[in-house]
Amino acid sequence: MSNEKEEAMNITVMGREFSVNCPHDEREELLQAAAYLDRKIQEIKEEGKVVSSERILIIAALSLSHETQIMRKGKGKGNSFDISEFKRRIVRMRNKLDEVLVKKE
């Protein structure tokens, strides 16, 4: 995070609202990260193999950490971590999540 003064903001994960501090210029990225995390949690829940919220969160965290490690080691599409591609993927996932949520309403 940047050296900018942090401000409180709310994010929602697993249907629960959390207040976190974040620099103003990083708010959008944090919202995207929260949406991505929430989607991972939903995917794990939908598989139905894990019921405990604690276990679901741990599996989601491991999954995201694993994805990050793969990208850092260059095992993804390119030879190195491409933050622009990572941001584009988050935006695409967020858009898909928005589409699904609109259809359910």
- pLDDT of 105 strictly over 60: no
* Residue among 104, 96, 94 nearest 11 (CA): 94
Architecture of domain 6-104: 2-Layer Sandwich (3.30)
- pLDDT band at residue 71, thresholds of 50, 70 and 90? confident
Which residues, other chains included, contact 11 with Cβ-Cβ below 8 Å and sequence gap of 6+? 17, 18, 20, 30, 31, 34
- pLDDT band at residue 66, thresholds of 50, 70 and 90? confident
Listed by start position, the domains of the chain span: 6-104
- pLDDT of 98 strictly over 60: yes
Average pLDDT value for residue range 77-104: 70
